Amino acid sequence: MSHISTTTTENRLREEIAEIGRAFRLLGMAPGTSGNISAKLDDGWLMTPTNASLGALDPAAISKLDWDGNLLAGEPPTKESFLHRAFYDQRPDTGGIIHLHATHSAAVSCLNGLDERSCLPPITPYFVMRVGRLPLIPYYRPGDPALGDAIREHAKTHGAVLLANHGPVVAGKTLEAARNAIEELEETAKLYLLLRQHDVRTLGEAEIDELRQAFGAHW
């Protein structure tokens, strides 16, 4: 019975990853073969394949890995799997992780003078509740394993990071939570870019503290 349940859960998550990938492509958040999505299983984790378009994922081809990184099923995984592993290692309650090169958040990642403690200010309560502080990870070349170590330094205390000149990585207790958070992050990045030349009212500490108490926000 447990094997049947595990298989059912895995198949459901494969379908969910493919559906989320299609949605991101339609929203313009996953150009080309950029971005990757993962989900945790009881016996390993699912990871989108290398050089795969998120808009055209075959659920059966999605990689399944054990916690030693061995491929158990599907096609070879993205070379950025270690970005996800860094979060899984540090946040045991993580159920899903998403990394995108979405336009507005990637644009913010290319700006000079960002606050390294949080690249985006508390513009809206929804950003504070769903994402929280967004620390900046310095630039590393794509595929550099040292990037995973840099993420680990922040992953224990933050559910999302922004990779310089690259894009965001967001973890959630479920895959759906990660999806909602990264969409909120992208919308906040868009607002931030639209408002940069204006005198912006951000949430004050008392307002953020109210969100902590009412919704368990982490800021």
Residues annotated as part of the active site = 80, 126
* 103's tokens: 């336009």
- What value, to the nearest 5°, has the Cα angle with vertex 116 and ends 36 and 94? 40
List, in order, residues 6 or more apart from 26 with CB less than 8 Å away.
55
The enclosing H or E element of 96 equals strand 96-99
The β-bridge relationship of strands 167-172 and 160-163 is antiparallel
Is the CA virtual torsion 200, 205, 211, 216 positive or negative? Answer: positive
